Each structure stands twice: as structure tokens, then as C-alpha cells.
Amino acid sequence: VFQRMTKSECYFINGTEKVRYVQRAIYNREQFIMFNSDVGHFVGFTPYGEKLAKRWNSNAVFMEDRRTAVDWFCRCWYKNFTPFLTERR
């Protein structure tokens, strides 16, 4: 059985003051590529991941989308889910 998984994660420090977006791609329990908004580009961990990172990092439109994911992905979800997570008793 082969499995490919992509995970997008948001790390919030002090609400939305400091936010980090991380996207990981995993194949058969091995992470092969990762984007971290603090670093600002993709990093490959396998030969295929390095090749893919080089291609994605050279695509300006795609990279702008990833770099702004803190705003359109993380902060948007934070605003939507905060009432359910912090104000619930």
C-alpha cells in the first residue's frame, strides 16, 4: 500500500501576532518536501523532494501564494475557529 499525504499546519504564538505556516508532503511515512513561512521557500529531503523544491521555488506566482498563506489560510481559520476553541466552557 502506497500513501501520499500533504499536511498544512499553522502555529500561533500570542494569538495572531506571530504566526508560522508549515506545509509538508509525505510519501510512505517519509517527508520528502516542506515549506516553512519563516524560511520562505521549499526544502527537499529526498532526491525527488530536492528536484520538486527547485521547481516550485523558481515559480514566482506559486511561491507568492505560499508566502501569503499565513494571511489567507492561518489567520482566516483562526478567526473562524477561535469562538469554538477559546470561548467554550
In the chain, which stretches have pLDDT less than 70? Answer: 85-89
Segments making up each domain of the chain, as ranges: 4-86
Q: Classify domain 4-86 at the CATH topology level.
A: 3.10.320
pLDDT score recorded for residue 86: 66
pLDDT score recorded for residue 76: 84
Which residues lie across from 27 on neighbouring strands? 4, 30
Alpha carbon of residue 88 to chain centroid:
27
pLDDT score recorded for residue 88: 57
| In contact, 78 and 69? CB cutoff 8 Å | no
The one-letter amino acid at 37: S
Place of cell 506571530: 18
Q: What is the pLDDT of residues 65-87, one digit of tens each?
A: 999 999 999 888 777 777 776 66
- Reported pTM: 0.83
